[in-house]
Amino acid sequence: MQKNRARPLSPHLSIWRWGPHMAMSIANRVTGGALSTVAAVALVWWLVAAASGPEAYDSFRDLATSWFGVLVGFGLTVAMFTHTAGGLRHYVLDIGAGYELRTNKNWAWVSLFAPTAVAVLLWAYILLRNA
């Protein structure tokens, strides 16, 4: 089949000038994917380990409190908070609010960076408390 080059195409990623709303949109999807895989496995692992007995639980806990576990935990916290902010942002957009250019841009920036800041504060609190 011959391609019709004159055929109009809807504008895609390469057409639009990159903006925070686009970054937030893809961040919401990427964090959702990470939570659906890594965090889902971690949640099941934690609960099954707890039900399986002290040895299984302690091996999970040792891994979770190692530097690697804390790194993954921090990453998942950033993902969870970012995805939460993205979700809340969507509820506002879903009712038809927040589409004015400046408002939309500002809240996109806030939902991109505020969750990471909150995650840093939370983990600083947890690590200092247990230090």
Partner 1 sequence: MGTGTGVGRVRGLGPAGHGAKNWFHERISGVANFALFIWLLVSLLTLPSIDHASVLAWLSSPLTAVPMILFVLTTFWHSHLGMTVIIEDYVHDEGLKFGSLILLGFFNFAGAALASFAVLQIAFRGTVS
- Site residues, partner 1 (CB under 8 A): 29, 32-33, 35-36, 40-41, 43-44, 47-48, 50-54, 57-58, 61, 80, 84, 87-88, 90-91, 94, 126
At residue 14, what are phi and psi to the nearest 5 degrees?
A: -75, -10
Nearest CB to partner 1, comparing residues 34 and 112: 34
Q: Minimum CB separation from partner 1 for residue 61, in Å?
A: 7
CA-atom Rg of the chain in angstroms: 20
Q: Minimum CB separation from partner 1 for residue 121, in Å?
A: 12
CA distance 65 to 67: 7
Contact predicate 19/26, CB 8 Å: no
Q: Minimum CB separation from partner 1 for residue 99, in Å?
A: 18
